[in-house]
Amino acid sequence: MMISIRNIFVVVSAFVLVACAGTPQEPVQFSSAVWDASEKKVVLLFDDASTPSFSVPGASCLLCLGVAMAANSSLSDHVKTLSVEDIKAISEEIEKAWLARGYTVKSADFQEFKKLPKFKSGGLNVAKNNFNVYKERDGVDYAMVVKFDHIGVSRPYASYVPMGDPKAEIVGSVYLVNTTNNAYEWFSPISITIGADGEWDESPDFPGLTNAYYQAIETTRDKILKPFSPASSPL
């Protein structure tokens, strides 16, 4: 089965972005001082959840990618049909959780976040982008970011050879930045991987992997909302 050059280019671009991402930020435990702050205003920047996709990490050459994507074309097509509405709904739950803690919540365009300038005075556990703009413009004390790098299904490869079964995957990060000094008050990587319960290769609907996908969303939801529970100290 033929696979478009465009689809291969998208996967290659994703690999290049990951390779050039630099040293990953280490987790930062949520600061309980946030709940005791005298000023309680937060801006929420929630990623525009795009269409889920199928990835083949490890199929590192162009021909390898073509072979791997063609071999999984039915699954790749199915993954694109999966809904992201449950992911988008997490944004509303976050807002309600902040309100319950006495905060005023402002939602901002995630595309605007992507255009933020770099923060010139870097340092340990300091955000790379300059969030001071939200302090100066909107008068908020914190910025919460939920960012997704991949939503969908992933299958590991070594060149042309699959090294395991496909699994549902959500990868990204959630963090809270102090808009005064640009320091992280919380940083938690998101790396959720769940396999099918039983047989995965049941084309065209792939019920096992579909269920795993929605389980991954629920697990992601729990991770993001954990700091708002009464007794929590998440990473």
- The reported pTM is 0.86
Please name which of 14, 99, 23 lies closest in space to residue 50, comparing C-alpha atoms. Answer: 14
- CA within 13 Å, CB half, 198: 6
Q: Phi/psi of residue 46, each to 5°?
A: -105, 125
Assigned domain for 5 exists: no
pLDDT at 22: 63
As for how many domains the chain has, the answer is 1
pLDDT of the residue at 231: 57
Question: For residue 117, what pLDDT is reported?
Answer: 92
pLDDT at 5: 44
* 52 found inside a domain: yes
CATH classification at residue 131: 3.40.50
- Whether residue 110 contacts residue 135, with contact meaning beta carbons closer than 8 Å, is answered with no
Asked, for residue 40, whether it belongs to a domain, the answer is: yes
Task: Give the domain extent around 195.
Answer: 25-58+74-228
Per-residue pLDDT of the chain (235 residues; tens, 9 = 90+): 444 444 444 444 444 444 445 688 999 999 999 999 988 999 999 998 778 999 999 998 999 999 999 999 999 999 999 999 999 999 999 999 999 999 999 999 999 999 999 998 878 899 999 999 999 999 999 999 999 999 999 999 999 999 999 999 999 999 999 999 999 999 999 999 999 999 999 999 999 999 999 999 999 999 999 999 875 544 4
Write the secondary structure of 87-99 as one string of H (helix), E (strand) and C (coil): HHHHHHHHHHHHH
Residue 234 lies in a domain: no
User: Is 187 contained in some domain?
Assistant: yes
Note whether residue 50 is domain-resident. Answer: yes
Q: What is the pLDDT of residue 229?
A: 86
